[in-house]
Amino acid sequence: MRQIILDTETTGLSANYGDRIIEIGCVELLNRKLSGNNKHFYLNPERDSHEDALKVHGISNEFLRDKPKFAQVADELLDYLHGAEIIIHNAPFDVGFLNKELERIGKPVFKHFVQSVTDTLMMAKELYPGKRNSLDALCDRLGVDNSGRTLHGALLDAELLADVYINLTRGQDALLIDVASATGSGPLLEHVDLSSYELPVLRANAQECAAHEEQLAQLDKASKGKTLWRNYEPMPSEAVA
């Protein structure tokens, strides 16, 4: 399975009003492992960056003057991305800019060249409704070190997003992970029969129940009343005595 984490930096926020891509960073994952086969381009956008954009990425107009134009790197970029799943944070923004650049040089839209596009912002919103889901916020929440990110940079952001994506999608089928089996050296954990043990049931006290209800109310508010448990009526057999 080949996946490419992609990020761009731009002269501003609107591709439709003439803003251009100035940097593209790509990080390759093969079977969810970093391969080291990355791509990085600085581009001459043929226009200056907006002042607010300069504060975000810090890439000066002068630095970009002698860099290649998008048309000069398009084939190399598309060959690299061909057939892969592309993973982007806030994908509509980056794909919109890429589509506009491709349109300028007479090529089909971006999705024509890749297998699919996955938006990690949408994934994060589903996992953490009502919370901040910027790249920095996700790094903090998931324990990804972003201490070197003082300014936005396409390659650095793609590298951070790769770590964030792995953490967002890391599943676990059992409470105990058989590490030795995963490495092919045989089972490490001895099976323990718990059927003879009577496990205590610890019920929540009034304060804990109130805190739980408050958390549910916040989730219900964040989802604008779309939570299902508010409509669920327990069967008599499910009621707690």
Sign of CA dihedral 218, 224, 229, 230: positive
**Nearest-angstrom CA–CA distance, 38 and 154:** 12
Query: Is 152 annotated in the active site?
Result: yes
Sign of CA dihedral 159, 164, 166, 169: negative
Sign of CA dihedral 14, 19, 21, 23: negative
- CA neighbor of 213 nearest in space, from 194, 229, 200, 198: 229
- CA neighbor of 97 nearest in space, from 159, 6, 8: 8
- Within the chain, strands assigned E span 2-10, 21-30, 33-34, 39-42, 85-88, 116-119
Name the 3-class secondary structure at 7: strand
- Catalytic choice (40, 152, 191, 212): 152
The DSSP element (H or E) to which 209 belongs, if any, is helix 206-222
Angle at which helix 91-104 crosses helix 70-81, to 10 degrees, equals 120
Helices (H), 15-172: 51-57, 61-64, 70-81, 91-104, 120-127, 135-142, 154-168
Residues ≥6 apart with Cβ < 8 Å to 90: 119, 121
Would you name the residues annotated as active-site residues?
152
